[in-house]
Amino acid sequence: MAGSSTPSSLTAVTLLAALLLFLNPSNAQLTANFYAKTCPSVSSIVQTVIQEALQSDPRITASLLRLHFHDCFVDGCDGSLLLDNSPTIKSEKDAAPNFKSARGFDVVDKIKAAIESACPGTVSCADILALAAQASVSLSEGPYWTVLLGRRDSLTANQAGANTSIPSPSDSYNNLVSKFSAVGLDITDLATLSGAHTFGRAQCKSFNPRLYNFTANGGPDPTINPWYLTNLRKLCPQNGDSSVLADLDPTTPNLFDNHYYSNLQKNEGLLLSDQELYSTTGAATISIVNSFSFDQSAFFESFARSIVNMGNISPLTGSNGEIRFNCRKVNWS
């Protein structure tokens, strides 16, 4: 009878499923204790190197978190962003969202070198980015979460994908929703992960279009608080240096807190993509912004969930990819 199964056929199905899992190890799940026996000190090594970097670079924590974000949005969390140009690779570092703005690669190199010294050939560069993101947030007084591990590193990069998949500072609300949805993240993840802009800096070129000739009659973006607009125009004059840096959060620029959301309520989101979450009529993110502005604990709890969701985007596991010895190039290249 159609749909019925004999014991022998069930056994065959079970064996087939087991065989498919063996042949396709990418189905394996990331785990919290992946390096418990092979590199038990990995988390403390990552944190120590970042703490040292913080002594001279207060931006480094936000920069490292951004690397994890930009890596995961392009073909999943596979360390592809870290690859330099080579005869066979067009680096994602040269894609528009990363060119002369993505930073912290030298610190990733130091972390990798320290881990290789302690646990040679064991920890992937993709996992280093995930661990560095967690350590960076915790060191900036943000939430702690358990990092799931077991990713392997890609054998190539996708510069074209980086140009199209990574959310842009000038993206509309609908574009942001679309880009998050494309990698399996929802509205809550969008509103929550955008809260990472509660620390760090952005170059004038990433928000200058909001300050001048934004409207048809040559005016600024009407959603910018007039007081904030005046300050930003002083920092970023129309024909000034486009690489000058502005604090993403003018109140506590180096702390991971919920001020990002109260800034949006005051029309003081630095990037258009930030303010769109609150100023877009009917946006589903408005209520989330209001909630997180009122309750920092709710933001922290949601961030811990959402960044784990992001870290689960299409990881290479099992025998797929490799464990790079140098995060900047594939092995034996």
Say how many C-beta atoms besides its own lie within 10 A of residue 228's C-beta: 16
Residue 314, phi-psi category: left (phi > 0), alpha (psi -120 to 50), beta (remainder): left
Phi, psi of 204 (to 5 degrees): -50, -40
Burial pattern 232-259, b for ≥16 Cβ within 10 A else e, equals bbeebeeeeeeeebbbbbeebbbebbbb
Contact 127, 150 (CB under 8 A): yes
- Of 68, 70, 197, 259, the active-site residue reads 70
75, 76, 77, 82: CA torsion to nearest 10: 10
Active site residue 70: yes
Strand extents, DSSP E, 169-300 = 201-203, 245-247
Contact 108, 94 (CB under 8 A): no
Q: How close are the terminal C-alpha atoms of the chain, in Å?
A: 56
Contact 271, 207 (CB under 8 A): yes
Catalytic amino acids? 70
